[in-house]
Amino acid sequence: MEQHDVIGIDVSMGKSSCAIYHQNQCLYDFTFTHTITGFGTLLSRINLTVNPVVYFESTGIYSRPVRTFCINNRLNYVEVNPLALHFQMSTLRRLKTDRNDAHKIAQYGLQYPQVLSQPFAPTYERLRELSRFHSQVETDIKDKRMRLHNALQQTFPELEHLFINRVSKLALNIIVLMPHPDFVRSVSQTKLKNIIMKSTDKSLSKTKALKHAQELLHFTSVSYPSAGSNSIQVDEVRYYAQQLINLIHEKEKLVEQLKGLAQTLPEFEIMTSFPGIGDQTAAELIGELGNLRRFANNRKLNAYIGIDLNRYQSGTYTRSDHINKRGNAHARSILFFTIGNMIRQQAAASNHIVDYYYRLKKGPYPKQDKVAKVACMNKTIKCLLVMVKANQKYDYSYHGLGVQ
């Protein structure tokens, strides 16, 4: 068996601690900064080793410079999930010492050799970054919606009932123009109708615009705001409404980029043939899962996502199974949403995953909703893996056989 020297790196912001081991002997123990000079020092030490493999924790943005360093220098590396590392090395971080942790990570690499990490191809990597950016924008939209709601409750709470979609462009444009009933009182019904028609980029009939104008005048007549028309709260309302408009524009742009890039990949058409998986969902799934062909089987894909079962038994006690959640949390979230989407759209097309969901819910031992959906996630990714590897679109008459 080929021997490898193991480099354990404990990553922190702007610098890392490193321990280099040859078999069970520590050759080097040092700290380096995430600069050209610091990584130069690290490379000079690694060049003195034999068949080196770099082990480091996946810690989000802070570990990315180390990953880039490994890719640029064509070094074999393993990006370890922190939960898996903590599970195997139970003493890690019981007493937090960066230098000691670097030794623990190196020892983990020696005791539990892992499959080497494979960087995403450029298209898949760009899709992942777009997907993460889109997810962050959605989080920002939720935050600004709540802040807008809090401010609007003080200036013109009835505005939230004017439109069904409270964060549509039309609703937000009206909020920017009329954040307080005092701004409406001096405007005629006809002028309000014209303002509403100009505040949307979609086709809006005069009848519907007039109805909105009449409702707005009614809300103005009954509203009793707690803040005046020249208050700071009015400025807040306008600020958050404008922020939401900008964020929604950014989200739409990102969705178009996601779908456009994903459509260049052969698995896109395969995934979108699956009922309940639309263009955007397929693009996000590809972005998080990467090239599915690299997974030897569905068990490895399960582990990557973090929905493989974690069993515990001691004597006569057996704990109920739980997913280990050591994998890709973003992928789990997208898949969970996908299953819900399949169930909501079940009338559109036959789907064996929906059949399986109801079989679990109505069987002799009915499963809870979340448990049933996680089981459906497992079956969905298994099906997607087979479809992508076989270059085969979804066929209910074939895929549905497993749930009869």
pLDDT (tens digit, 9 = 90+) per residue, 50-106?
999 999 998 888 999 999 999 999 999 999 877 667 666 655 444 445 568 899 999
* Residue 341, token pair as written in the block: 């989407």
Phi, psi of 318 (to 5 degrees): -125, 115
Q: What is the mean pLDDT of residues 389-395?
A: 93
pLDDT (tens digit, 9 = 90+) per residue, 146-161?
999 999 999 999 999 9
Query: Which pLDDT score is estimated for 112?
Result: 87
d(CA 131, CA 118): 19
Query: Which pLDDT score is estimated for 4?
Result: 86
Under 8 Å CB-to-CB from 237, ≥6 apart: which residues? Answer: 148, 151, 152, 155, 156, 175, 179, 180
Q: What is the mean pLDDT of residues 221-229?
A: 96
pLDDT (tens digit, 9 = 90+) per residue, 232-267?
999 999 999 999 999 999 999 999 999 999 999 999
Share of the chain above pLDDT 70, in %: 89
Instruction: Report whether 244 contacts 148 (CB < 8 A).
Output: yes
Query: Which pLDDT score is estimated for 400?
Result: 59
d(CA 289, CA 301): 9
Query: Which pLDDT score is estimated for 403?
Result: 46
In which residue are the tokens 């935050």 written? 143
**Mean predicted lDDT score pLDDT of the chain:** 88
C-alpha separations of 225 from 57, 156, 185, 234, 278 in Å: 52, 6, 14, 11, 43
Query: Which pLDDT score is estimated for 136?
Result: 95
pLDDT (tens digit, 9 = 90+) per residue, 302-340?
888 887 555 444 444 344 444 555 678 889 999 999 999
Q: What is the mean pLDDT of residues 211-218?
A: 95
Domains plus CATH for the chain?
6-111 (3.30.420.40), 125-260 (1.10.287), 267-403 (no CATH)
**More confident position, 180 or 328:** 180
Read off the pLDDT band of 300 (50, 70, 90): confident
**Whole-prediction pTM:** 0.81
Look at residue 50 and give its three-state secondary structure: coil
pLDDT (tens digit, 9 = 90+) per residue, 359-375?
999 878 888 999 899 99
Q: Inter-axis angle of helices 329-344 and 352-362, to 10 degrees?
A: 90
**More confident position, 290 or 400:** 290
